[in-house]
Structure 1
Amino acid sequence: MEISHVTRCRAAASWLFPPGCAIAGRSAVALLGGAEPRADEPVEVLVEPSARFGPVAGLRIHVARWQEGEVSRIGRIPVTTAARTCWDVARWLDVVEAVAHVDSLVHQRVTGPADLTAYLGQRRGERGARRFADVLSLVDGGAESLPESRLRVRIVRAGLPRPVTQHVIERNGRFVARVDLAWPDLKVAVEYDGLWHHDPDQFHRDRRRLNRILGDDWIVLHVTSRRMAEDFEGVLTEIRTALRRRRATR
């Protein structure tokens, strides 16, 4: 049996939980169909104050009340609803990580901006509402991975114009390519390059796809996980330079 984070969530809920506990946070995101943490990361649990549960090795316990209807069941596992899950990750994670996880649920159509905005309206004036509003202002369901979301949010928070996600480039009405992030009016795009050595065929397909748009005068900048971690200021400088030069020629 392969042990995954979701498997560990199910085991914890089945064998450890007393009444008044629910899978929450990033673990709930995974059970609801969004991004899944690594198998070895702690299972996040929301616990009613009256439950008096924990600490337990392998679990990250958050003590807080929930409102009626904010916990449902997937099979027999109690899980916070999509709206409550997004509320919790907005409070528990930094803004970049929170947006990335909410993006993953919106991308999978588990929830949507209208539902989350309505939920925010119910929590106005509560502690954490402003943080949740900040996260919602940055959410974009077009992102197809956590790294793409993190890249977009960091770009926007650095003061650059908000890019379009998964922009489709056409020539004479026919599909040419799709890019992760783009400023279409300036023909500047940014691609996040993941660990393509695990899939060399995908690497070649992506490079061929991007080569098709060079003839249409697009500038395509590539960002790796290493540059995200070690040289993000350099990445921002390159994007600013590309945008500035394109504006100067318009």
Structure 2
Amino acid sequence: MPTASEPVDVLVPRAARIGPSAGLRIHHGKFDPGDALDRAGLRVTSPARTCWDLAQWLDVVETVVVLDSMLARRLTDVPTLREYALSRAGRRGWRSLLRAVDLADAGAESPQESRTRVRLVLAGLPRPETQWVVADKGRFVARLDLAWPQFKVAVEYDGLWHDDPEQFHRDRQRLNRLLGCGWIVLHVTAKRLRDDFDGFVAEVRAALRARSCSPR
């Protein structure tokens, strides 16, 4: 979600003569029937049109971050977005939206999880499952951010909550139980996402390769 200091993106018809305005980022475009809705007296773009615009204004990773959130909140769904893109085939932006939709996943529970997943896939790794539940003899063990269950390899995003000693203690108990079930769990932080993502990709790839070549 944008912060109070970030500008608000506004879409206006191409013919509208609106210049730069403080706090606003003005975009001009063509509106199709159904693209604009009335919400409590405020004119807004439909969820599908909003996703279409984001696919043109943002890179694919950040577009998917927003699409994941919208899908999770059930503001739209994959078939609707795919149909919207395909119905506009040939127009600027339709392939960008289709690509983002194909990468989107309603299971993501945070923007950083979405960024991690999409960047791993774009790096050539198999698409992981989101929020994968691990059970042992019918008993719940853990729910994993990203997982390749056929290899028992998982990726967890470590956020700032790990500064909490109690949470850290519970997390390590959970990790021990996962290891006891034969899982390899790799952890990624904001710093690694920012400064050493290639190194992290190599670690995940090595874990998947090791598991795909060895019996479990």
Q: TM-score range by the shorter chain?
A: over 0.9
* Mapped partners of 1:54, 1:207: distance in 2: 55
Aligned counterpart for 1:100 among listed residues 58, 65, 70: 65
Amino acid at match of 2:129: V
Output the CA distance in 2 between the equivalents of 1:37 and 1:171: 41
Corresponding position: 1:127 with 2:127: no
Contact 2:184 2:207 in 1 (8 A): yes
- Report the RMSD for the aligned CA atoms in angstroms: 1.5
Shift of 1:54: 2.6
* Partners of 1:199 and 1:110 in 2: CA distance: 34
The one of 149, 159, 168 aligned to 2:114: 149
Structure 2, unmatched stretches of 5+, are none
Kept after mapping to 1: 8 A contact 2:85/2:95? no
Q: 1:188 aligns with which of 153, 156, 162?
A: 153
Matches within 5 A, 1:1-250: 36-196=1-161, 201-250=166-215
Q: Give the gaps of 5 or more residues in structure 1.
A: 1-35
- How many aligned positions are there? 215
**Partner amino acid for 1:69?**
G
CA distance in 2 between counterparts of 1:196 and 1:206 reads: 11
Aligned CA distance change for structure 1 residues 199 and 111 (closer, same or farther; 3 Å): farther
Identity of aligned residues (%): 56
Deviations for 1:39-96, whole angstroms, at most 9, x for unmatched residues? 2111110011233123101111101121121111222222111100111111110011
- Distance (Å, rounded) in 2 between the aligned partners of 1:91 and 1:73: 23
Q: Structure 2 CA distance, aligned partners of 1:98 and 1:84?
A: 13
- Please give the TM-score of this superposition, normalised by the length of structure 1: 0.82
CA separation in 2, counterparts of 1:197 and 1:242?
Answer: 24
| Alpha-carbon spacing, 1:60–1:201, altered in 2? closer, same or farther (3 Å) | farther
User: Using a 3 Å threshold, how does the CA distance of structure 1 residues 176 and 76 change in structure 2: closer, same or farther?
Assistant: same
Measure how far apart 1:202 and its partner are: 4.1
> For the Cα contact (< 8 Å) 2:133–2:144, is it kept in 1?
yes
SS in 1 for 2:107: coil
Counterpart of 2:113 in 1: which secondary structure? Answer: helix
Partners of 1:209 and 1:59 in 2: CA distance: 45
Q: How has the CA–CA distance of structure 1 residues 46 and 181 changed in structure 2, closer, same or farther, with 3 Å as cutoff?
A: same
| Residue matched to 1:31 | none
Whole-angstrom distance in 2 between the partners of 1:158 and 1:109: 28
Q: Normalising by structure 2, what TM-score?
A: 0.94
